[in-house]
Structure 1
Amino acid sequence: MRGTNNYMAISSTFASWNGDGYRTVQMSRPTPNPRGEAFWNSTMGHAWVSQQTVISEIFMSVTSVSLDAAGAKLGEHVIDIGCGTGDTLLAFAEAVGPSGAALGVDVSVPMLDFARHRAAEAGLGNAAFALADATDHIFEPRWADLVYSRFGVTFFDDPVRAFTNIRSGMKAGGRLVFVCFRTMPESPWFRVPIEAARPHVPPQPPVDPTAPGMFSFAREDRLRGILTEAGFREIAIKANDVPIHGKDTTQSMAFITQVGPLPALLENASDEQRKRATEAARNALAAQIGADGRGLHVGLWLVSASA
């Protein structure tokens, strides 16, 4: 794995910014679920670190659209839920400036340590990190002007409880902004390779569409109900089709075979089945992606609400 050997120390505490300086707080214990702490500290978490540059480029438009919607302002306090390797957290730390603060929350040791390293290299002293599950992490009460997430909130085992807890750390009238996927058929960048690979692997068991995962918030009514029950107001959920910026088929496949939905499809396949499925996925993408790496999009919900 590239670029992570120096950032793997596991700590049970973290530094939290309280407006005047850092304070050390005991780490919250993550809620167990199939896409929880163990999953993001396994090879999946390491893959996100090793592919950080690729992922940043691929989700360039997603990041731009969602950060514009968040509209972080100078001096604000921002919480980034599921901040991962730090792309959006670093952007927030720069946007709010030294008079503001940005706290990144994630359950993944490799990703959070890499984000911490990137913040230090960039000289962003107003960025802090919590190795924790937002479901039961003790947030500073009424601290955040803005809570943001790029996909991270879709992995909660108990989303109502998680969003209720997140709201406890927001100022009255604070902004919640996040982006999540609609259904997989509405995201050709995922659908095309998956449909091409599926005939070459064993049949997959039915899955619960509301289970923690990339598409758990696909249903608008469920998403609105979760936020309403958690106490949020002025909820707006807008469909947005956003282009993907895979540089070429090779870069797109680097993501899809390691950190997209394809690994789950290949999990129980033989070596030969996996080879045929991967090649079919590659060919399907190559037929759709232009020389500029574009040609397919993902279907998103752009969500906003007030605490």
Structure 2
Amino acid sequence: AAPAPGEQVLDIGCGAGAGSLALAALVGAKGGVLGVDVSEPLVARARELGEDRPNARFQVADASRALLPVAQFDLLFSRFGVMFFDDPAQAFAHMRRALKPNGRLAFVCWRGAGENDWVRLPLKAIVPIVGLPAAPPPEAPGPFSFGDRARVERILGEAGFVDVALTPVDHRIVFGEGETREAAIADAVDLAFQVGPLTRALADQAKAVVEEAKIAVREAFAAKAQDRSVVIDGAGWIVTARNGDA
């Protein structure tokens, strides 16, 4: 993203504001960051954390529809926040209008589900118990909807961006932590049932089946456990582009 002092940044899907506040520190007092997110509790937390950062503002809004100032921002930034739009080409076209001429876009998103352990490991573990869950339509909104490079290039091109580039990034992820190895594994299992597809895959199963699945998922994460953490493999794209309105 390379934010520079004095720049204006729009943080899309800012969550609790960690990225926005890091950007605000980099653009300095003469710059500014607007973080937008659809979650009121997360934006409230971001405002709390940013009380001493006057150049960071936060707004509860859907960036694909929000009333944004025209040609205001030097940079559109997002960390795992752009894969959930119903009409992504329209959403990016809308957000691009908030960019200055020749402004830039930089975001990170997941690659395919099969390349990311936080989904791959638990789903593989439950297949012998409940079978393979049905996959969502490939272009349905969701964490892996931008896994296909060609689709991302097409969406951004239709939205009016140029110089689109996707760089694969592979990174180790701490998925569970605890005071002991066993506590870290338990933390990873709890998290997998909160943020992954497991709850949906097991929604109609009997309690005994769910408990059996939890044991299998625990064994899968135990294979990745260290002394106080469970460390898994993550795979994403870093996507950059430029506003076509030069």
Listed as ranges, the gaps of 5+ residues in structure 1 are 1-69
Larger radius of gyration: 2
Structure 2 Cα separation of the partners of residues 189 and 107 of structure 1: 24
Which SS does the other structure have where 1:155 is aligned? coil
Deviations 1:145-187, CA, capped at 9 Å, x for gaps: 1111111100000000000001000111111011111111111
Give the drift of 1:253: 2.7
Deviation at 1:250, TM superposition (A): 3.3
1:196 pairs with one of 98, 117, 125: 125
After superposition, the Cα gap between the structure-2 partners of 1:81 and 1:271, relative to the gap in structure 1 and judged at 3 Å, is same
Q: Aligned pair 1:76/2:12, yes or no?
A: no
- Superimposed CA distance per residue, residues 77-96 of structure 1 (whole angstroms, 9 cap, x where no aligned partner): 11111111112111112221
**Which of 127, 134, 139 is the aligned partner of 2:56?**
127
* TM-score normalised according to structure 1 size: 0.72
How far is the alpha carbon of 1:269 from its aligned partner? Answer: 2.6
Partner of 1:179 in structure 2? 108
Residue 92 (structure 2) pairs with residue 163 (structure 1): yes
Pick closer, same or farther for the CA change 1:182–1:94 going to 2, 3 Å: same
Q: In the TM superposition, what whole-angstrom CA distance separates every residue of 1:243-293 from its partner, at most 9, and x where no partner exists?
A: 102333233334222123333223333322222212211211111233363
Question: In structure 1, what is the Cα distance between the partners aligned to 2:227 and 2:86?
Answer: 40
| Residue 198 of structure 1, CA deviation | 3.5
Deviation at 1:201, TM superposition (A): 3.8
Structure 1 position 222, deviation (Å): 0.6
Residue in structure 2 matched with residue 259 of structure 1 by the alignment? 195
Is residue 222–residue 230 contact of structure 2 (8 Å, CA) maintained in 1? no
Cα pair 1:243 1:294 within 8 Å, conserved: no
Shift of 1:131: 1.2
**Alpha carbons of structure 1 residues 159 and 284: separation in structure 2 relative to 1, 3 Å:** same
Write the letter of the residue equivalent to 2:94: N
Any conservation in 1 of the 2:13–2:37 contact (CA below 8 Å)?
A: yes
User: Does residue 299 in structure 1 map to residue 235 in structure 2?
Assistant: yes
- Write 1 or 2 for the structure with the bigger share of helix: 1
Deviation readout 1:185-217 (Å, 9 max, x if unpaired): 111232112211233347634420210100001
State the TM-score, normalized to the length of structure 2.
0.89
SS of 1:75's equivalent? coil
1:298 is paired with a residue whose SS is: strand
SS in 1 for 2:82: helix
CA 1:266/1:302 → structure 2, altered by over 3 Å: closer, same or farther?
Answer: same
Equivalent position SS for 2:67: coil
Whole-Å Cα distance in 1 between the matches of residues 8 and 199 of structure 2? Answer: 37
The alignment-based identity, stated in percent, is: 39
Task: Name the CA distance, whole Å, in 2 between partners of 1:254 and 1:114.
Answer: 23
Counterpart position of 2:145 = 216
Is 1:111 matched up with 2:47?
Answer: no
Q: Distance in 2 between matches of 1:301 and 1:185?
A: 14
Flag the 1:294–1:279 CA change in 2: closer, same or farther, 3 A: closer
Given that 2:165 and 2:241 are in contact with CA atoms closer than 8 Å, whether structure 1 keeps it comes out as: yes
Contact 2:167-2:239 at 8 Å conserved across structures: yes
Distance 1:294 1:273, change over 3 A: closer
CA offsets per residue over residues 102-153 of structure 1, 9 Å max, x none?
Answer: 1111111111111122112xx0111111211111112111111111111110
How many residues align? The count is: 236
Report the 3-state secondary structure (helix = DSSP H, G, I; strand = E; otherwise coil) of the residue aligned with 1:251: helix
Q: How far apart are the structure 1 equivalents of 2:10 and 2:45?
A: 18
